[in-house]
Amino acid sequence: MAPIKPLWIEDALPVMYSDSWQSFKRGAAVRVATGEKLEHPAEFLQFMANGAIDVIHPDLAFVGGLTGGRKIADLAELFYIPVVTHNVGSYVQLIANAHYGASVRNFLMSENRIPQGDLYAEMSEEGITVKDGLLKVPNGPGLGITLRPEVMNQIIENGKWE
């Protein structure tokens, strides 16, 4: 894999920590990441304390939201490990990840699934702004978004956006 220069290899072994992760990282020619299926700071700490990963990949939906994510990022900072959020969730999760990234010192980037077309932009009054690969963080109260109920209801009723 090294010749294609991936940013990292993700979840190459069974998700929970074992000494195999440490051995794998020692022999890996590319950076090693894990975390999208982990939930508790102690699960992440095992990887970090044993030098078994280069990048953590928490999913805010599983780790306790912004608060749980901050605990994990603070632990990672002690080990000089960057944070890359896993995000294949909703528009709300995308915006939560943007706020999280703006507040975490060791945040590197976020995986996301901004759909083609205007789906996410139509879901809120504020829309969505991406420029040069960077998502603008809304600055209103809460997450800074006002969801449009008529759009959300249409998605629910149809099972998809039309």
In CATH, what number does 2-116 get? 3.20.20.120
**Mean pLDDT over the full length of the chain:** 92
Confidence band, pLDDT 50/70/90 cuts, at residue 156: confident
Does residue 121 have a pLDDT over 90?
no
pLDDT beyond 70 at 42: yes
Rounded to whole angstroms, how far apart are CA atoms 91 and 88?
Answer: 9
Q: Please report, for the chain, the start and end positions of each structural domain, with discontinuous segments joined by +.
A: 2-116
- pTM value? 0.89
Question: Locate tokens 């994510």: which residue?
Answer: 69
pLDDT digits (tens, 9 = 90+) for 46-105: 999 999 999 999 999 999 999 999 999 999 999 999 999 999 888 899 999 999 999 999
pLDDT of residue 1: 84
pLDDT of residue 53: 98
Residue 18 CA, distance from chain mean position: 23
For residues 130 and 162, what is the distance between their CA atoms, to the nearest angstrom? 22
In degrees rounded to 5, what are phi and psi of residue 51?
A: 60, 35
Residue 2 has pLDDT above 90, yes or no: no
Tokens 């690969």 label which residue? Answer: 133
